[in-house]
Amino acid sequence: MKKRIGSYPRVRIEGGGRAVVSQAGSVLLVETVRKAGLDTAISAALTPWRKTRMVHDPGKTLLDVALAVALGGDCLADVAMLRAEPAVFGPVASDPTVSRLVGTLAASGEKALRAIRAARAEVRRPVWRLAGRKAPDAGGTVTVDLDGVLVIAHSDKEDAAPTWKRTYGHHPLMGFVDHGPGGTGEPVAALLRPGNAGSKTAADHITTARLALAQLPKKYRRGRRTLIRTDSAGGTHDFVAWLARRGLRGGPPRPSCLPARRYDDVPDHDWYCPPCLLPHCLLPRGCAA
């Protein structure tokens, strides 16, 4: 381990078999955090929640929780995986400290969420610039996919409820920036919802779309350079009308059986027809009205 730069130590990788650590694969995540500047951005955003003489920085603690989730954790106590390897992750807060921070941020509600979202958006812009031709907006357009997902709860949790698939848990609505056939979705938004939340709730689609657009560079937040894709749940009049008012394009998700070449060849006017604002406009080959 070399001296710390930012929130995490700088780790040197060797093949000699000495000073071996577990969770070595997480070094890639830690280095991504460092290179992107996410640690300093989150730390600065959460400064209002840092008390005098606080030992552990709130931004570092929150990132530790995120890293624990990426490593397979499913509860706050799983930050113990990081605590066991200070050479890789640096000082990690105790379980009570992590719990108190989450409680403090939760009590602040939207104020804390806005600060965290602003930091993520701030970091995303230079990362996309560094990505160059690999960036999701390299072609001058951005595609955002919205979709719901069921998260099973094995015990009673806040907002957990029976789902439409006869399971029990939550039904969040997610937003991902598409990276094309050679990449994966980049998560930009998540709207937490109870398990019995409706699939075709226009207000939730609008809220999630707003959260996703706020993560994009400003030039993509309005206009036809951004395509919002949903399944049939997004084909409500209110959501389509909202897209039209912002000048955004709407379309269905890319079916797994449809080659990317054919999908990309569909003309823009076949995806969306603002005059009638019918759900049919979200389907290929134009409006059926």
User: Do 226 and 159 sit in the same domain of this protein?
Assistant: yes
User: Do 98 and 142 sit in the same domain of this protein?
Assistant: no
Phi-psi region of 284 (alpha: psi -120 to 50; beta: other; left: phi over 0): beta
DSSP one-letter string for 107-163: HHTHHHHHHHHHHHHHHHHHHHHHHGGGSTTTTS-EEEEEEE--EE-SS--TT-EE-
Which of 267, 261, 266, 228 has the alpha carbon at shortest distance from 247? Answer: 228
Residue 175's Cβ-side half-sphere holds a number of Cα atoms within 13 Å equal to: 24
User: Do 93 and 166 sit in the same domain of this protein?
Assistant: no
Q: Tokens 């994966």 belong to which residue? A: 184
**Is residue 282 scored above 50 in pLDDT?**
no
> 9 - beta bridge partners?
4
Identify the domain boundary among 89, 108, 127: 108
Which of 75, 39, 78, 73 has the alpha carbon at shortest distance from 59? Answer: 39
Look up the domain containing 211 and give its range. 136-282
User: Do 188 and 259 sit in the same domain of this protein?
Assistant: yes
Task: With H, G, I as helix, E, B as strand and everything else as coil, classify residue 191.
Answer: strand
Contact by Cβ (8 Å): 196, 203? no
What CATH number did the domain enclosing 167 receive? 3.90.350.10
User: Domain for residue 287, yes or no?
Assistant: no
pLDDT score of 253? 59
User: Do 154 and 243 sit in the same domain of this protein?
Assistant: yes
> 67 - beta bridge partners?
none
Ranges 77-91, 116-130, 261-275: which has the least confidence: 261-275
User: Do 155 and 251 sit in the same domain of this protein?
Assistant: yes
User: Domain for residue 258, yes or no?
Assistant: yes
User: Domain for residue 130, yes or no?
Assistant: no
User: Do 264 and 145 sit in the same domain of this protein?
Assistant: yes
pLDDT in tens, 236-256: 999 999 998 888 877 665 544
User: Do 94 and 166 sit in the same domain of this protein?
Assistant: no
**Is residue 261 scored above 80 in pLDDT?**
no
User: Do 104 and 187 sit in the same domain of this protein?
Assistant: no
pLDDT score of 27? 85
| pTM of structure | 0.80
User: Do 170 and 47 sit in the same domain of this protein?
Assistant: no
User: Do 49 and 160 sit in the same domain of this protein?
Assistant: no
The C-alpha atoms of residue 42 and residue 36 are separated, in whole angstroms, by 11
**Is residue 275 scored above 50 in pLDDT?**
no
User: Domain for residue 252, yes or no?
Assistant: yes
User: Domain for residue 126, yes or no?
Assistant: no
User: Do 260 and 146 sit in the same domain of this protein?
Assistant: yes
Task: With H, G, I as helix, E, B as strand and everything else as coil, classify residue 188.
Answer: strand
pLDDT in tens, 55-103: 999 999 999 999 999 998 988 899 999 998 888 899 999 999 999 999 9
Ranges 173-177, 193-197, 284-288: which has the least confidence: 284-288
Q: Report how far apart the first and last C-alpha atoms of the chain are (Å, whole number).
A: 65
pLDDT score of 260? 42
User: Domain for residue 146, yes or no?
Assistant: yes
Report the number of distinct structural domains present in the chain.
2
Contact by Cβ (8 Å): 249, 226? yes
Mean pLDDT to the nearest integer, 18-38:
81
